[in-house]
Structure 1
């Protein structure tokens, strides 16, 4: 009666068809999906609740047989991979039961017994391995004509693997990064996208440069287990007993009552699966990067390899990668691989050096890990297709939920992070991603420019009020915050923190006791006050510290005289009116052994972005003051040219007083000093660089705090 009352008598046929479709959907499992969504939402699993509504139905034997014919490399024993925890394992023990057992008053006792059952040393009976290391199989559709096999392993086995993942995380990161960023590397996917996007932007228009995306066919299921276990024993011996117990024998897999055996590959649902796969493929990645241009960004993420450089070097790297990968099982899928010439249609690459079946994209617009690269119009088109259009079926399904509150919660999740206006909040999310991944991007690509972070911050500032805009950070400004605390700083440390947080260090403004200026309550004047000798003390403190931290082999000397001829206006007299001999002293720190180009003259200076006339530029660009002063140091009295004529390398070392940042030349010099110190300390170069930067940053902020306290009333 309801369809007739609503639609009218003349539309009975339409109402009948509508009712039949609804009943068919209900009988086809829609009711079960709705109830599962409500149950997950009640547990707070909103993301899984949305996935339950939008996930495609499982396939039967007929669909799997048809897909197997179209994918001949997928054998029955290796075509299924572990994954979705939404279904129960073969023994029927769900993880929720263990969580409920640990929520009682006997949680400690349960943990003791559970730890006794989950043996991580591989001492469990070998006959049980094929069962406990097996899984229940499910088939999901993948595209139009493919199947994604999903396996659900035993709960206790997954629990043991997760514990080992946590224990091996640091070792795996040291071993795999930066060649592989998909395992044990936080934000690895985002860093890969940012690195590729900037590399394509920098190399745009280069006729001989290319970007190559390499995809492996059924990679997880075809990797040779013997090669995999060899890599585990060689690099992660603590993981070897458990890995051998799980993968040295055939695995027993259950699919709709049928028993299949798996003797190759790793189960993708196994928490250790990505790590084991990455270990097996690491020699292939090392072979790909073994060419002469090994500084170009080559990396792999979850079975997708990226090569970028001159097309001849990329072709050679591709050949080495393919040969090394075949030795451990995976074969390259040319149908899904893609070659992107940076020069577009005008590129001058020789396509004959690449396999004939590889796709060539002359538009320079492509997707990487689901993210669009190059071209504003292409990015907008992909965003609509991959985000907006895919969200519509989910939003339509949410309207069918019987509980409005559940639909409201899922709707907030479907929009993404609960944000209300994507156009307003997207710049902030992008800036967070760029800043968080910047160190990793610089490891992936030595030529990666930090200017992307500045652009991201400027994009955020465009949608913020003037008073809430984010200042562009200065390089190295926060290094002192990572230094070990020292009780010797005493009250100076409190002042340093207040200056950093932009808090008042005095109750109000007062006349400066050293000059005719006003000592403001925020300490800005004290850091630039020309009287009282504080600026000289700050300069000498940094100069002495740089000289002391330099290794003995540098032959360092402070204020070495006579490096340059005297200025004509001085009449040949020395700068200090002494009798040490004529000549100028451009070096606060002279390093006699600075490499093949001869000795170096380090000229230290501390400037300020609060100086009159530079405040507006500093607010827009935090590095403006130090970069400008570096140029001034080089051009003043023609010092750079004069040093070059005398065989000296002139290196201006400039710091910014208020923010605490350092100039580009200063950071480059500190890295060179840290690299030289490595031979003496046996520490990584990055550790020594951070240590040197922390010492200099602490000294700078300490002298600033002392100048502020010296001018405070009382």
Structure 2
């Protein structure tokens, strides 16, 4: 607890100053630290520091009367930019300010957060040990705080901890993190003193004014309480994954906020005409525990306290009835304002008495789930997107008031441009962005023109297109909606495909749906991948090559090194350097079953199989050209290709006295078992080779056996040469067996 008490005192006295007051701030901070350390050395000084901190009243700040709200926001924005808190700049720009200190504000806060008695913990015996966090876990959780994380009532920030653990004080960082870990474990054991626990767990309310009126209370707890919560969640999270799997997508699920709208839209597209279905949108806490395996539902998904349930109308009505009856016993109260029933096809049973409460919302065109539209009505999605684009354009106009081109460009790239629309781009059908896309791109071009030329001449179409390129291509890295609208949607759908399949399994829906197919078609056309057209190089049509692998591997494309030839040349070079007699593109004059000549052997390994020459047939393939990617099995493509090659060619080569070996590889680096066996044998052959003597640059006219006998006779007694050397079939090098006396 000693480290905890010191940090509370230092945090409470530390007042943040900006660049122009850094010197005064440093002097004040050093004095505060020195006074605290002196008090710490006195008997009872640590407790006195704690009492002073608890009794400390936060300073009140007066707002300049001569500045309006927009000017105050602008001033605060510049300060946030100097601190590097770029995401906070957006919140400040759109802030409506803090509600005035008045009786009406206090009443509004009390209405939203009524006074209640302190909770009492049950006196139950715990039959397991408390959580224990290592120093490494505590350090990771400290580093996980976002930059600019606000402080609690003690004024202590996560950045203070990070500064204390920085490289400048590396000598004491290990000892310090060990002390912090002991404090965290003390809290996890439940041994925090009550007088301190009330302070640590409390959070003052800041009444922010909503843009549409009313107040929004913001509670910011202390860093210590948040750190302990982070550590506890990190320790118990892995054990809860199985309990929440397939139901709760709000924590620890990548793309969880996108998978639910995608799955719902696929379900609505496939079964929107089913009159007997209904969708219930509920807002509870942990209500998924009530209906985990009780009802036969088409879909059930929860994102924290927001639930979406789809099933037969009467079954969904029973689900709502269960939550209304049993929910209060678990502290679950229905939020009527956020609860509704929807399905594209109207079911008359929804109007029957007792099925749904009469006051429940019943939208007709569509609903918004986690910020994404779920509807079959294009107008509904277009209106939602238009509202978001309008707000984003207003935000870009506000950024222009900063009057700093570098800061404006930074904010435009990071958090005020297309980044404000990324969620909509990823969850909404590209078809709903029609006019909104044009409006946003026009506003983005105007903002870039203001930054680059101060709205003057010289910013034409060419400059506009160049500005939307990434930095490494000479652009400004500011993307237009028209460039990414289809790509963003497809990326989100494919990224969460497994989670969607899990959600949709009870409904039996496996097809991607027309929205995905249309987006993929437009995207392929935009990048010039129309697979119904023949390849311009070889005139062949590859209808199943939806990922365009053929475009980068066509043997007749000028300037493209064919993957097949690259692997062939590499394998030939490996054999050569290992001392293996090998020929490349060898014509062995074989005739197929129709009387036509077989193509050249990719590689011919001389005397490889007990004196028999073996033809190696190389074949490259891409697993991505399959049509059934849902059943993708790693290594299956290369195995299938090897089997087809053996069935097609092995009998012809065997009848002619040659061996046949398929060497099948994929664009993902997979190898067939025969290819792996060949490489292992080559490696073994290379390691086991005897030491030899070589002469480089010897004219080929001296490659006769008699000449080689005389040349290598100085080394030892000539025994024999191999067939390739005798017949001069391979001109890479000659091989002779020579007996050499040792010693």
Q: TM-score, normalised by structure 1?
A: 0.54
Are 2:483 and 1:424 aligned?
A: yes
Where 2:390 maps in the other structure, the secondary structure is: helix
Where 1:149 maps in the other structure, the secondary structure is: strand
CA distance in 1, matches of 2:98, 2:303: 27
Shift of 1:699: 14
Where 1:313 maps in the other structure, the secondary structure is: helix
Shift of 1:362: 2.5
Are 2:520 and 1:449 aligned?
A: no
Are 2:72 and 1:46 aligned?
A: no
State the partner residue of 2:289: 286
CA distance in 2, matches of 1:58, 1:44: 23
CA distance in 1, matches of 2:190, 2:562: 53
State the partner residue of 1:265: none
CA distance in 2, matches of 1:147, 1:706: 68
Pair 179,200 (structure 1): closer, same or farther in 2 beyond 3 Å: same
State the partner residue of 1:209: 277
What do the CA deviations read for 1:299-330 (whole angstroms, capped 9, x no partner)? 22132111101101111111112223211223
8 Å CA contact 2:283, 2:307 repeated in 1:
yes
Shift of 1:213: 0.8
State the partner residue of 1:95: 158
Pair 699,409 (structure 1): closer, same or farther in 2 beyond 3 Å: closer
State the partner residue of 2:585: 510
Q: How do 1:213-612 and structure 2 match up within 5 A?
A: 213-216=281-284, 281=286, 284-294=287-297, 296-344=298-346, 349-352=350-353, 353-363=355-365, 365-374=366-375, 375-385=377-387, 387-413=388-414, 414-417=416-419, 419-446=478-505, 447-449=508-510, 451=512, 457-466=520-529, 504-507=566-569, 510=585, 516-518=597-599
Where 2:207 maps in the other structure, the secondary structure is: strand
State the partner residue of 1:121: 189
8 Å CA contact 1:194, 1:434 repeated in 2:
yes
8 Å CA contact 1:337, 1:359 repeated in 2:
yes
What do the CA deviations read for 1:563-619 (whole angstroms, capped 9, x no partner)? xxxxxxxxxxxxxxxxxxxxxxxxxxxxxxxxxxxxxxxxxxxx9999xxxx9xx95
State the partner residue of 1:623: 628
Shift of 1:391: 1.3
CA distance in 2, matches of 1:128, 1:457: 58
Q: How do 1:51-130 and structure 2 match up within 5 A?
A: 51-60=91-100, 61-62=102-103, 64-65=105-106, 67=108, 74-77=113-116, 87-107=150-170, 108-109=173-174, 110-119=176-185, 120-130=188-198
CA distance in 2, matches of 1:505, 1:25: 75
8 Å CA contact 2:301, 2:307 repeated in 1:
yes
CA distance in 2, matches of 1:505, 1:699: 11
Where 1:391 maps in the other structure, the secondary structure is: helix
CA distance in 1, matches of 2:248, 2:183: 34
CA distance in 2, matches of 1:313, 1:187: 29
CA distance in 1, matches of 2:504, 2:631: 25
Shift of 1:660: 7.3
Pair 382,122 (structure 1): closer, same or farther in 2 beyond 3 Å: same
Shift of 1:340: 0.7
8 Å CA contact 1:84, 1:151 repeated in 2:
no
Shift of 1:74: 4.9
State the partner residue of 1:643: none
Pair 450,437 (structure 1): closer, same or farther in 2 beyond 3 Å: farther
8 Å CA contact 2:638, 2:670 repeated in 1:
no
Shift of 1:459: 4.4
Shift of 1:91: 1.0
Where 2:275 maps in the other structure, the secondary structure is: coil
State the partner residue of 2:262: 194
Pair 58,330 (structure 1): closer, same or farther in 2 beyond 3 Å: farther
What do the CA deviations read for 1:380-438 (whole angstroms, capped 9, x no partner)? 221110x2111133222212214321122112231134542212212222222112211
Shift of 1:129: 0.9
8 Å CA contact 2:248, 2:301 repeated in 1:
yes
Q: TM-score, normalised by structure 2?
A: 0.52
8 Å CA contact 2:639, 2:672 repeated in 1:
no
State the partner residue of 2:637: 657
**Which structure carries more relative contact order (alpha carbon 8 Å, separation 6+)?**
1
State the partner residue of 1:705: 675
1:172 to 240, 263, 267: 240
Pair 349,88 (structure 1): closer, same or farther in 2 beyond 3 Å: closer
Are 2:195 and 1:152 aligned?
A: no
CA distance in 1, matches of 2:495, 2:74: 38
Shift of 1:131: 0.4
8 Å CA contact 2:147, 2:159 repeated in 1:
no
Shift of 1:519: 6.6
CA distance in 1, matches of 2:488, 2:370: 18
Pair 145,457 (structure 1): closer, same or farther in 2 beyond 3 Å: same
8 Å CA contact 1:208, 1:341 repeated in 2:
no
Shift of 1:176: 1.6
State the partner residue of 2:253: 185
Shift of 1:180: 1.4
Where 2:279 maps in the other structure, the secondary structure is: strand
CA distance in 1, matches of 2:107, 2:204: 21
Where 2:98 maps in the other structure, the secondary structure is: coil
Task: Look at both structures and tell me which one has the larger radius of gyration over its CA atoms.
Answer: 2
8 Å CA contact 2:209, 2:216 repeated in 1:
yes
State the partner residue of 1:232: none
CA distance in 2, matches of 1:450, 1:520: 43
